Amino acid sequence: MSTCLYLDTARLGRMCPEAQAADRDFARLASEERCSLYFEHFLRWGYTALPPTLARRYPGLTFWAGVTTFKNDLKTVLCPPRQRHVLVANRSAQLVRLAARLLCRRCENILITDMEWPSYVKVLAAECHQARRILTTMPMREAVFRDRIGRDEAIDRLVGCYRRHDCDGRFLSAVTYDGVRLPVPELVQGLGHRERPRFVVVDGAQALNHVPLALSEAYCDLLLAGCHKWLRAYQPLGLALCCRRWSERLVAEMQQEMLSRGELDDPLLVFTNQLENEATESYSETVNLTPMFTAAAAVRRMLASPRAKREELTSQMANADRVADQTPGVGWRPSRPTLAMQSGVLLLKPRYQHSQQVPVERVRERFLTAGVALTAYEDGTIRASLPDQPFAADELGLLQAALCRCA
């Protein structure tokens, strides 16, 4: 039984039951079978490769059918062309570095906004500096939250900035860490054929299992995502999906180049490629495999869900509306973009100046004491990731009491 109302999924999702079962039974299998031949068969070919008497002891692993099937499940979820390639890594930062290197190899001037994840921007800026490329930042935060510009105006401003600065590459979030849905497909499709970016990277860390990504439209070259937030696999696992046929070769060549130079240091990325090619090395680095199994279980859970993703998103936004309607009387004010750019994340700013000066950890601690887990920022702003089921009356009452107490 949970001891709090958990509204922090945008940072670390609550582990779903299927991922919990996979985590538990893989730990048992690894402990009891160690590196036996049965264990190796399980990694390569899946649950059905285990002898029936052994398999029955680990029911939480019935979903596992090998690395290729896991990647195909991801493609079923994300809907790119089936033949596209997926990279799996322990550390998302390694895949971000690969994406940054590809952008700098293909492009002279890369457009981003001031709403991108700071650590990703730092990696991209370092690559641009080394490759003598230009990184153009378009200010959008105030226009989105203060001026509440609409989706069409956001597209016009970003397309205009792209043209004025003669950009030829893009790194943009499908959903920013503040919960803003950027119209990335339209930002690419709104350009003429000769103006189209030479390479487009989309950060989908806040989007996977949260909002529809429409990858069938092939508006980006590489999608980056993680499994520990909205997918609720809990264990961090980085994903990179090649979305266009012509860019797949570029990604593969860059991956091999960086691996050979020791610049792409991720043992799971190497090991999964070896498993798929049936060419594991005797002296490879020890690999943490647990995140792959919790992610695979969470993806299977998503595929089995009877609810459409848009239905879940609608529920999240309805919950955001209910919370926003209550805030005027409890010392907070919602900070939201226009409807077309909203997601299941809601920002609330404190109305009182003294609350804006409270340290971040103290804000989180006060809310947790009041029974609510969420994210806090330096200026006192809080971020709530709303559930995809309607709030129960007691949950909404608990949140309202916490907001009043912590204002």
| Per-residue pLDDT tens over the stretch 36-45 | 888 888 988 9
Helix (H, G, I), strand (E, B) or coil at 84: coil
pLDDT at 358: 87
* pTM of the complete model: 0.93
In angstroms, the CA 71 to CA 88 distance is 9
In angstroms, the CA 186 to CA 169 distance is 15
pLDDT tens profile 109-128? 999 999 999 999 999 999 99
Q: When comparing pLDDT for 281 and 165, which is higher?
A: 165
Answer for the pair 267, 284: CB distance below 8 angstroms, yes or no: yes
Taking Cα atoms as reference points, which of 279, 274, 177, 184 lies closest to residue 223?
184
Q: What confidence category does residue 1 fall into, taking pLDDT thresholds of 50, 70 and 90?
A: very low
| Contacting residues for 92 by C-beta, under 8 A, at least 6 apart | 205, 224, 226, 236, 238
pLDDT tens profile 134-147? 999 999 999 999 99
Domain boundaries, the chain: 67-304, 307-406
Q: Is the pLDDT of residue 4 over 50?
A: yes
CATH code assigned to 307-406: 3.90.1150.10
Strand order from edge to edge, sheet including 375-376: 332-335, 345-350, 382-385, 375-376
Mean pLDDT computed over 286-313: 92
In angstroms, the CA 182 to CA 340 distance is 9
For the packed helices 118-131 and 92-106, what is the interaxial angle rounded to 10 degrees? 40
For the packed helices 17-33 and 37-45, what is the interaxial angle rounded to 10 degrees? 150
Q: What confidence category does residue 281 fall into, taking pLDDT thresholds of 50, 70 and 90?
A: low
Q: Is the pLDDT of residue 282 over 60?
A: no
Mean pLDDT computed over 282-293: 81
pLDDT at 264: 92
**E strand or H helix that includes residue 320:** helix 309-326
In angstroms, the CA 286 to CA 91 distance is 15
Mean pLDDT computed over 248-277: 92
Strand order from edge to edge, sheet including 238-242: 86-89, 238-242, 222-226, 199-203, 169-173, 109-113, 134-138
Pick the CATH number of 67-304 from 3.40.50.300, 2.60.40.1150, 3.40.640.10, 3.40.50.10140: 3.40.640.10
Output the average pLDDT for the chain: 92
pLDDT tens profile 51-77? 999 999 999 999 999 999 999 999 998
pLDDT tens profile 218-262? 889 999 999 999 999 999 999 999 999 889 999 999 999 999 999
In angstroms, the CA 360 to CA 349 distance is 13
Read off φ and ψ for residue 289, nearest 5 degrees.
-95, -15
In angstroms, the CA 231 to CA 376 distance is 22
